[in-house]
């Protein structure tokens, strides 16, 4: 569906002189691919894995024509913040270097780092049922501050900032 959307947006209705739109597909978890092996390794999105495809998409290939746009189709729940940023920077760098606009599409899911990859586009699109957005981070722990009170245990913590010990399980959760 998204490939046909890209064709309609950029290619018109079968015009032989229509612009060229190169497509790069990124599917999987965003992570470093160093040392990754086996079938699951193919489902990892990393700068190392996608850089050659990005370069090919932005640069003229066998013909002398540069693409009119690059479409990046993303299906990813996210993953490594570092790899997400590296890929995002590479897409923007190639777009700036070549003057080629980037259109990103969320196919099934573009969450967290996948959403950050989408933000590398000059324009973004998704289906009505795609899950798109920055879902944030979850953390959990135990509140043991009452145990300290009950047994009259004094805890001493020194930090370099006011909020550096927010996840300390022996501290009462502050209300902001």
Distance between CA atoms of 144 and 106, rounded to whole angstroms? Answer: 42
Tell me the C-alpha distance between 174 and 176, whole Å. 6
Model pTM score:
0.68
Give, for all 176 residues of the chain, the pLDDT tens digit: 555 555 555 555 455 567 889 999 999 999 987 766 666 666 899 999 999 999 999 987 655 678 999 999 999 999 999 999 999 999 999 999 999 999 999 999 999 999 999 999 999 999 999 999 986 655 567 778 888 889 988 878 787 777 777 777 777 776 66
Domain 2-133 CATH (choose: 3.40.50.1370, 3.90.226.10, 3.20.20.150, 3.90.1520.10): 3.90.226.10
**Helix 81-98, helix 47-58: angle, nearest 10:** 10
CATH 3.90.226.10 boundaries in the chain: 2-133
């Amino acid at each position: 569906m998204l490939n046909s959307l890209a064709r309609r947006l950029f290619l018109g209705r079968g015009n032989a002189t229509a612009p060229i739109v190169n497509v790069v597909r990124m599917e999987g978890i965003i992570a470093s691919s160093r040392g990754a092996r086996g079938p699951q390794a193919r489902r990892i999105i990393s700068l190392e894995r996608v850089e050659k495809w990005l370069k090919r998409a932005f640069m003229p290939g066998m013909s002398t024509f540069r693409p009119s746009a690059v479409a990046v189709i993303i299906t990813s729940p996210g993953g490594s913040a570092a790899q997400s940023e590296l890929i995002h920077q590479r897409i923007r760098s190639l777009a700036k270097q070549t003057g080629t606009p980037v259109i990103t599409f969320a196919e099934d899911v573009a969450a967290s780092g996948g959403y950050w990859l989408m933000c590398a586009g000059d324009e973004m699109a998704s289906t009505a049922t795609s899950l798109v957005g920055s879902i944030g981070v979850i953390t959990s722990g135990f509140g043991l501050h009452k145990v300290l009170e009950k047994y009259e245990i004094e805890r001493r913590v020194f930090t370099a900032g006011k909020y550096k010990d927010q996840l300390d399980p022996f501290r009462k959760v502050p209300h902001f």
